[in-house]
Amino acid sequence: MKREQLEKYAELILKTGLNVQKDQTVFVTAGLDQPEFVTMVVEECYKAGAKEVFVEWSHQPIAKLNANYRSLESLSTLTPWAKAQWEYKAENLSCRLFIESEDPDGMNGIDQDKMSKARRAQYPIIKPYREAMENKHQWCIAAVPGKAWAKKVFPNLDEDAAVEKMWEVILYTSRADGNDPLKAWKEHNADLASRCDYLNDLGLQYLEVKSGNGTDLKVELNEDGIFCGGDESTLDGKVFNPNIPTEEVFTTPKAGSVEGIVFSTKPLSYMGELIENFSVRFEGGKAVEVKAEKGEELLKHMISMDEGASKLGEVALIPYQSPISQSGVLFYNTLFDENASCHLAFGRGFNECMRGFENYSKEELERRGINDSMIHVDFMIGAKDTCIVGVKKNGERVQIFKDGNWAF
């Protein structure tokens, strides 16, 4: 891939994604797959005025060794230096950038029960720091090709060709392959904002989602809920894009108020393993039955992580004709696959999807319908024939999606 195009991508991530301001601290989390690109990103941070940039390197094979050899007690402990780092991030409201490149199958074979217990043990320690940063700092998730990931997506190509092809599809789907990615994203964000405005003006009470594969779901919305999409703002007005790419217009449904059955339309990569061809049946707002051709036990583990894990925290609308869907590529990565298809998410909801959220406490937001959980896991449900109807309080029905795409 030409260096000039990669430099534009790095600039897009820093200016449109994170929007780093003068004297801010930046933490970058990245694998060892593309060190040259990470170096470009760090330089862009400093050019934007960052005071300091810290890179946290990760390597999936080592993560797997830790999962296999460390005891549950060891994995459950937050070390003093890890705790100090969380404190530093929270105190400084540091920008956080996550650059994904991992192998979708890279953690196959680990003891998922042990890892789930370790996550449950650490979560209460980490949660206060996360809540102290919520809606107060900029963050962004983007991606670069890893060799194993590229071979998973393009198995018929040799390793170098697969990585090059991955660069092409990542830049294309991220709207970073043209002459002016910053302008392209400005126009894209404006389109998403206009769709949010239209939906928010409708005052919908619930959504009906149906597809020919058997999906038949009723999702109740929060009374003061709003649809969001594209760029977001911190409470002090810093604008950023948390996902590059993104195609979604999303909201947080009313916790515990979904009924029906839904069938997945793409594999779900969770904890380094794939869950494939699965269905979820909801009763009384909770997932009461899950079935999967592959990864069923992992799926059951996921929705039992805590009280809120079996409830929905997000419903997102993405047209079937989105660039990611039209690319015809199955990424085996939620950042991309969720933006090729309408999706739902188990677990934690978004405070910002409630009007005036900044005026409520965490407990008040939960009482008003925002689900709380240690997880937030998106899974894809959109199909070519997906139909979504919004229903107002007076019973008026509004066509939102027809044949998998926007009806307005």
Cis amide linkage into residue 104, ω under 30° from 0: no
When pLDDT is cut at 50, 70 and 90, the band that residue 176 belongs to is very high
SS3 250: strand
Q: Classify residue 185: in a domain, yes or no.
A: no
Of 173, 188, 214, which residue constitutes the final position of a domain?
Answer: 173
Q: Classify residue 187: in a domain, yes or no.
A: no
Q: Which CA distances in Å does 99 have to 28, 49, 146?
A: 7, 20, 11
| Residue 358 sits in the same domain as residue 317 | yes
DSSP 16: I
| Residue 380 sits in the same domain as residue 250 | yes
| Residue 150 sits in the same domain as residue 283 | no
| Residue 311 sits in the same domain as residue 261 | yes
pLDDT at 360 over 90: yes
Q: Classify residue 356: in a domain, yes or no.
A: yes
What number is the average pLDDT over the span 287-315?
96
Residue pair 272/302 in contact by the 8 Å Cβ criterion = no
Structural domain range at position 294 = 203-406
Mean pLDDT computed over every residue of the chain: 96
Tracing tokens 């996902």 back to the chain, one arrives at 243
What number is the average pLDDT over the span 93-115?
95
Q: Classify residue 228: in a domain, yes or no.
A: yes
| Residue 223 sits in the same domain as residue 143 | no
Q: Classify residue 188: in a domain, yes or no.
A: no
Q: Looking at the 3D structure of the chain, how many domains does it have?
A: 2
Residue pair 371/196 in contact by the 8 Å Cβ criterion = no
Over pLDDT 90: what percentage of the chain?
97
When pLDDT is cut at 50, 70 and 90, the band that residue 1 belongs to is confident
What number is the average pLDDT over the span 74-95?
97
- List the CATH number of the domain containing 117: 3.40.1830.10
Amino acid in the structure at residue 384: K
Q: Classify residue 193: in a domain, yes or no.
A: no
| Residue 155 sits in the same domain as residue 219 | no
What number is the average pLDDT over the span 111-118?
94
| Residue 118 sits in the same domain as residue 214 | no
Of 173, 190, 220, which residue constitutes the final position of a domain?
Answer: 173
What number is the average pLDDT over the span 369-391?
96
| Residue 252 sits in the same domain as residue 317 | yes
Cα 284 off chain centre by: 25
Q: Classify residue 307: in a domain, yes or no.
A: yes
What number is the average pLDDT over the span 309-335?
94
CB atoms within 10 A of CB 286: 17
| Residue 84 sits in the same domain as residue 8 | yes
Tens digits of residue pLDDT in 213-226: 999 999 999 999 99
Q: Classify residue 189: in a domain, yes or no.
A: no
The tokens describing 374, both together, are: 């240690």
What number is the average pLDDT over the span 203-213?
97
| Residue 213 sits in the same domain as residue 108 | no
Reference 219, options 391, 349, 373; nearest CA is 391
pLDDT at 272 over 90: no
Indicate yes or no: pTM above 0.85. yes
Euclidean distance between CA atoms 223 and 218, whole angstroms: 16
| Residue 143 sits in the same domain as residue 248 | no
Angle at 348 between CA 377 and CA 245, to 5 degrees: 50
| Residue 214 sits in the same domain as residue 162 | no
